[in-house]
């Protein structure tokens, strides 16, 4: 099966590309996704080995900070069952979990963040889902051409 490309957003003060690089085996689960479309991408379409553009959001310079890979198939997000978690979902059960996550593995940190501002200036990316008005998904597909263009910018 052909590799797919994804963009996954995280607030760097919560979990950054540097945090991922310091985890055991440079791998961590991607929990807390609470949007059905983003969940469906992880559950139904992500495959081990797919490439991830790691995006820092809600920070002074939002943008793509590096690369990771999908390191596991989707499995139930444990935070949905934890009553102390911000991501607790009382409608989820062990028998019928609503939320999924995948493991991600660090691949590369960019020397400089490829900023959202700069991405918006690139005609080659005018159709990129990230740059469409109203798109707030934390997990979204990226096509091969967009991925290659962005990596070329880094």
Domain count within the chain? 1
Q: Is 149 part of a structural domain of the chain?
A: no
Determine contact, residues 20/54, Cβ cutoff 8 Å: yes
Q: Is 99 part of a structural domain of the chain?
A: yes
Strand-pair partners of 61? none
The DSSP 8-state label assigned to residue 58 in this structure reads S
Q: What share of the chain has pLDDT > 90, as a percent? A: 94
Q: Is 116 part of a structural domain of the chain?
A: yes
Domain that holds residue 22: 5-140
Residues 6+ apart with CB under 8 A from 87: 31, 32, 34, 77, 79, 80, 99
Q: Is 40 part of a structural domain of the chain?
A: yes
Residues 6+ apart with CB under 8 A from 97: 76, 77, 80, 81
Predicted local confidence at residue 132, as pLDDT: 92
- For residue 101 the two structure tokens come to 């996550």
The CATH number for 117's domain is 3.10.590.10
> How do residues 87-124 score in pLDDT, each as one tens digit?
999 999 999 999 999 999 999 999 999 999 999 999 99
The pLDDT of residue 2 is above 80: no
Predicted local confidence at residue 110, as pLDDT: 97
Whether pTM exceeds 0.85? yes
Q: Is 134 part of a structural domain of the chain?
A: yes
Strand-pair partners of 113? none
Q: Is 14 part of a structural domain of the chain?
A: yes
Q: What angle do CA 24, 30, 33 make, to 5 degrees?
A: 165
User: Which residue's structure tokens are 């002074």?
Assistant: 60
Q: Is 151 part of a structural domain of the chain?
A: no
């Amino acid at each position: 099966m052909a590799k797919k490309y994804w963009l996954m957003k995280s607030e760097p003060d919560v979990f950054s590309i540097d945090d991922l690089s310091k985890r055991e085996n440079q791998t961590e689960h991607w929990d807390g996704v609470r949007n059905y479309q983003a969940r469906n991408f992880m559950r139904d379409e992500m495959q081990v080995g797919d490439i991830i553009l790691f995006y820092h959001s809600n920070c002074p310079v939002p943008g793509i900070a590096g690369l990771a890979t999908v390191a596991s198939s989707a499995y139930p997000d444990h935070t949905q069952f934890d009553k102390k978690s911000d991501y607790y979902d009382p409608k989820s059960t062990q028998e019928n979990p609503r939320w999924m996550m995948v493991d991600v593995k660090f691949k590369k940190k960019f020397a400089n963040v490829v900023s959202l501002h700069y991405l918006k200036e690139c005609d080659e990316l005018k159709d990129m889902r990230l740059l469409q008005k109203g798109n707030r998904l934390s997990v979204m597909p990226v096509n091969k051409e967009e991925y290659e263009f962005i990596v070329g910018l880094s």
